[in-house]
Amino acid sequence: MSNKLQNSLAIGARIWYNLVIKTDARKTAFSAKGWDETMDKMFSLAKAYEKYFKIGAAVASHNIAGYSDVLSQHFNSITPENEMKYSETEPEEGKFTFDKADVIFGTARKMGIKVRAHAPVWHNQTGGWMYRDGDKPAPPELICERIAAHSKAICERYNNDVYAWDVVNEACRDDAPAADSGESTVYRNSEYFKLCGTKFIEAAFRAMDKNSPDAQLFYNDYNECVPEKRERIIALIQNLRDKGCRIDGFGMQQHYFAKPDYDELKRSIEAYSSLGLRIHITELDISLMATVNDGEKRLKPGDPGFREYISEVMKPTPEKLAEIGNIYTNLFEVYRSYSDVIDCVTTWGVADDYTWLDHFGTNEDMPKIKQYPLLFDEEHKPKPCVSELIGAAGK
Ligand code: GLA
């Protein structure tokens, strides 16, 4: 079917939906399943949001083939979940392995879209070799040289297919103990930071600027709407700028484990964008936890009664699953209202059959709990909130 015809059908169906079906009668007259099947053929989240921002998803080399239908219908950006990290691309110094990343880039080429690449320099998923020089700790210059060599290799291979890089991930600390002062109140006390202060961040941005001059360069972090952490992130970005490094955008991860504070979200988008940065929502997903936890102190693994508590909190009742949809609807309303500064909204995963949250935090104290944090269900069908999001985009 031609694009034009498909668009006209989609617009017609959307008008029909808004006029006729989006009433309470819909709930009784149409089963969710019957409606979804119609919607499936007519609607595309990515097309509906073209005038606002890209719709992205994190994918893995082992699941991307199974998602080809939903990806090509609803998404126009993809991010390798792990395949561009050091542990996958350079497990030993100078030994590059691109097989897994190639699977993702190959699919992107077939889909005719570019990749949002993530995240070479991160304190996790990086081989210990980075921090060693024989039997001694690596000096800062060596770490910076290694970062530059890695940047050259990944850019030579993938530059034509990448529109944005998360150059450095999660280099800010979450809390600043009162005893600390200076830089250590801002930066995570990672191996990188212990060995070379902030030099590794500058080295990463300088190298990517040199090797990937046409792509946008991002710093990416979580808890980015918590006021104290936001200040640290801003300090990191300003520091980078003061050193003369190019940084084009900030990646707001948006993993939700507690109910969103929409006012802080707005304040954060405004604070980051007022630095002249483009904003990408980079890792959006909504834990069942976010339907009940409004930020009050909660039990942690190891606390007495934790297993019972967490099993209760994570019970996927119909109300909680509907609440996840409501949260998506509310978040997208905010994102749309800042579409002059937001260029991409990426969910951390495609559909509920594969989500990192099913494994996050699991240990002997933590029962394995199935989560439903994404926009598409375990059969890759759009959840009801996807119709809402598409409808809202057309208003
Ligand atoms: C962080 C990282 C991502 C990913 C997720 C969990 O947010 O930025 O690369 O590892 O954790 O899957």
**Residues 6+ positions from 134 with CB-CB distance below 8 Å:** none
Catalytic, 333? Answer no
Per-residue model confidence (pLDDT) at position 364:
63
Which of 203, 202, 184, 179 has its CA nearest to residue 194?
184
Per-residue model confidence (pLDDT) at position 42:
64
Per-residue model confidence (pLDDT) at position 305:
83
Q: State the distance from the centre of ligand 1 to the C-alpha of 169, rounded, in angstroms.
A: 9
Q: State the distance from the centre of ligand 1 to the C-alpha of 105, rounded, in angstroms.
A: 19
Tell me, using a 6 A CB cutoff, whether residue 347 lines ligand 1.
no
Domain encompassing residue 96? 55-315+360-369
Tell me, using a 6 A CB cutoff, whether residue 129 lines ligand 1.
no
Per-residue model confidence (pLDDT) at position 138:
98
User: Is there a domain that residue 257 lies in?
Assistant: yes
Which residue among 81, 83, 90, 170 is the active-site one?
A: 170
Cα separation of 249 and 273, whole Å? 8
User: Is there a domain that residue 110 lies in?
Assistant: yes
Q: State the distance from the centre of ligand 1 to the C-alpha of 329, rounded, in angstroms.
A: 23
- At residue 48's C-alpha, the angle toward residues 42 and 51, to 5°, is 155
User: Is there a domain that residue 27 lies in?
Assistant: no
Per-residue model confidence (pLDDT) at position 64:
98
Cβ(120)–Cβ(85) below 8 Å: yes
- DSSP for 149-176 reads HHHHHHHHHHGGGEEEEEEEE--B-S--
β-pair partners for 55 = 345
Tell me, using a 6 A CB cutoff, whether residue 332 lines ligand 1.
no
Which residue among 81, 90, 191, 283 is the active-site one?
A: 283
Tell me, using a 6 A CB cutoff, whether residue 59 lines ligand 1.
no
pLDDT tens for the chain, 395 residues long, are 444 444 444 444 444 444 334 433 333 333 444 445 445 556 899 999 999 999 999 999 999 999 999 999 999 999 999 999 999 999 999 999 999 999 999 999 999 999 999 999 999 999 999 999 999 999 999 999 999 999 999 999 999 999 999 999 999 999 877 677 788 899 999 999 999 999 999 999 999 999 999 999 999 999 999 999 999 999 999 999 999 999 999 999 999 999 999 999 999 999 999 999 999 999 999 999 999 888 776 777 778 888 888 888 889 999 999 999 999 999 999 999 999 999 999 999 999 999 999 987 666 666 678 999 999 999 999 999 999 999 999 87
Cα separation of 370 and 357, whole Å? 8
SS3 content of the chain, % helix, strand, coil (to 5): 50, 15, 35
- Looking at the CA of residue 81, tell me the nearest atom of ligand 1: 9
Tell me, using a 6 A CB cutoff, whether residue 224 lines ligand 1.
no
The CATH number that applies at residue 291 is 3.20.20.80
User: Looking at this protein, which amino acid is placed at residue 378?
Assistant: E
User: Is there a domain that residue 1 lies in?
Assistant: no
User: Is there a domain that residue 310 lies in?
Assistant: yes
- Looking at the CA of residue 170, tell me the nearest atom of ligand 1: 8
Q: State the distance from the centre of ligand 1 to the C-alpha of 95, rounded, in angstroms.
A: 24
Catalytic, 170? Answer yes
Cα separation of 389 and 17, whole Å? 13
Tell me, using a 6 A CB cutoff, whether residue 168 lines ligand 1.
no
Tell me, using a 6 A CB cutoff, whether residue 107 lines ligand 1.
no
User: Is there a domain that residue 42 lies in?
Assistant: no
> Structurally, how many domains does the chain consist of?
1
Cβ(143)–Cβ(130) below 8 Å: yes
Q: State the distance from the centre of ligand 1 to the C-alpha of 97, rounded, in angstroms.
A: 20
Of the residues 83, 252, 348, which should be mutated to test ligand 1's pocket, given the most ligand atoms within 8 Å of the CB? 348
Burial string for 177-200 (b: 16+ CB within 10 Å, else e) reads: eeeeeeebbbbbebbbbebbebbb
**What is the token pair recorded at 200?**
């590794």
User: Is there a domain that residue 64 lies in?
Assistant: yes
User: Is there a domain that residue 125 lies in?
Assistant: yes
The beta strands (E) that lie in 187-260 are given as 216-221, 249-252, 255-256
Q: Cα(first)–Cα(last) distance of the chain, in Å? A: 25
